């Protein structure tokens, strides 16, 4: 019996996912995920993170009774060191039936993570950024950075992107791959002199100190900050957060996990009341977004298991219809 059950598990590769799910599908799934999280219909236990030598091991469960599904994601993320052709984030997502406990599918968690993270940035951009935003800046040219780029271009009329990465070769690869795909101009840059031109900034790095300061950016910019998933990590200058309008994926998670908030709160720069709302509350019309053109808006995300759940479910439903 156990052998038969194992043989029945659907193995879904990154190539399968790319053929099944477009960015519009991913954003629709993320909108449902965030809405269900903030209205309490999805349950997301606190994730477990363990440091193992040069790796972080993350275990992330979530479930939703209406869907009748459970998702568990197990991923590793390298703290340092690049291995040619091997992504910094690797893992799998298991999708289970909530009633029977059966494993419905095991899928590539690396691409699921990149896709749902990009789609989350797209949702936040759609809700908070200026409608006519044309210039995008991306810090970090890994898988997360690429899907941020794709999602923002899907919801706003981006004409030009500036990309930063400590690995210039990685940045050049992103330029080559995405410039034609998105039909925009992409420039690899090494300093902050062009940052004031940005209408939207996306940060997807493992930085332990702010990537730029308030004097480097213009009023009215929108920032998607999707790195800094641990207390020692920090991408966004506290002065930017203090003077801007902060939205998060989960109040509880960002306050426990992200150095972007943990560090300045511990230094008494601001308190946890700095959080305006969860992005799901915006989707559910329980909170307002941008009020004027000069406001700086920030979406801080550490990533939630509910995102993996709804993304995996959307993938599985499409896969089952083949």
Question: Which residues partner with 76 through β-bridges?
Answer: 57, 90
H-helix or E-strand containing 160?
A: strand 160-164
- pTM to 2 decimal places: 0.90
CA–CA distances in Å: residue 160 to residues 129, 152, 247, 300: 16, 12, 25, 23
Q: Give dist(CA 78, CA 67) in Å, integer.
A: 33
The residue assigned the tokens 């896969």 is 319
Tell me the domains of the chain and their CATH numbers.
2-112+306-320 (3.30.1780.10), 118-304 (3.40.50.720)
Contact residues for 293 (Cβ-Cβ < 8 A; gap 6+): 130, 219, 220
Rounded Cα distance between 248 and 256, Å, is 13
The helix/strand count (H/E) of the chain reads as: 11, 15
For the chain, how long is the longest CA-to-CA vector? 64
Q: Is 126 a catalytic residue?
A: no
pLDDT of the residue at 51? 82
- According to DSSP, the residues that pair with 74 across neighbouring strands are 59, 92
Asked if 260 and 315 touch (Cβ cutoff 8 Å), the reply is no
Tokens of 292: 């004027």
How far is CA 69 from its chain centroid?
Answer: 22
- Rounded CA-CA distance 189/164 in Å is 6
pLDDT in tens, the chain (322 residues): 455 555 578 999 999 999 999 999 999 999 999 999 999 999 988 778 888 878 888 888 999 999 999 999 998 887 665 666 677 778 999 999 999 899 999 999 889 999 999 999 999 999 999 999 999 999 998 888 899 999 999 999 999 999 999 888 889 999 999 998 999 999 999 889 889 999 999 999 989 999 999 999 999 999 999 988 889 999 999 999 999 999 999 999 999 999 999 999 999 999 999 999 999 999 999 999 898 889 999 999 999 999 999 999 999 999 998 8
Q: How many CA atoms lie within 13 A of 220 on its CB side?
A: 13
Query: Cα–Cα distance between 114 and 142 in angstroms, integer?
Result: 9
Catalytic residue among 73, 126, 230, 300: 73
**pLDDT value of position 1:** 44
């Amino acid at each position: 019996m156990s052998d038969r059950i194992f043989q029945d598990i659907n193995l879904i590769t990154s190539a399968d996912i790319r053929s099944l799910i477009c960015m519009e599908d991913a954003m629709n799934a993320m909108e449902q995920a965030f809405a269900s999280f903030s209205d309490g219909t999805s349950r997301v236990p606190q994730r477990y993170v363990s440091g193992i030598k040069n790796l972080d091991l993350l275990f992330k469960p979530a479930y939703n009774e209406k869907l009748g599904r459970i998702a568990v994601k197990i991923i590793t993320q390298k703290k340092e060191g690049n291995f040619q052709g091997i992504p910094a984030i690797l893992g799998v997502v298991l999708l289970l039936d909530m009633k029977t406990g059966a494993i419905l599918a095991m899928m590539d968690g690396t691409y699921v993570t990149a896709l749902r993270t990009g789609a989350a940035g797209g949702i936040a951009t759609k809700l908070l950024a200026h409608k006519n935003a044309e210039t995008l800046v991306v810090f970090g040219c890994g898988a997360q950075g690429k899907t941020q780029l794709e999602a923002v271009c899907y919801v706003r009329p981006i004409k030009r992107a500036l990309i930063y990465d400590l690995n210039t070769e990685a940045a050049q690869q992103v330029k080559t791959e995405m410039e034609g795909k998105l039909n925009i101009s992409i420039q690899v840059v090494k300093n902050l002199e062009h940052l004031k031109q940005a209408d939207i900034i996306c940060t997807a790095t493992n930085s332990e100190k702010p990537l730029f300061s308030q004097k480097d950016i213009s009023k009215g910019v929108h920032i998607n900050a999707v790195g800094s998933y641990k207390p020692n990590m920090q991408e966004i200058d506290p002065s930017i957060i203090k003077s801007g309008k902060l939205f998060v994926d989960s109040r509880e998670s960002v306050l426990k996990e992200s150095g972007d908030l943990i560090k300045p709160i511990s230094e008494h720069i601001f308190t946890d009341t700095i959080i305006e709302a969860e992005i799901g509350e915006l989707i559910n019309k329980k909170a307002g977004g941008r009020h004027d053109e000069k406001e700086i808006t920030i979406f801080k995300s550490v990533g939630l298991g509910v995102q993996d759940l709804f993304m995996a479910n959307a993938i599985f439903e499409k896969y089952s219809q083949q």
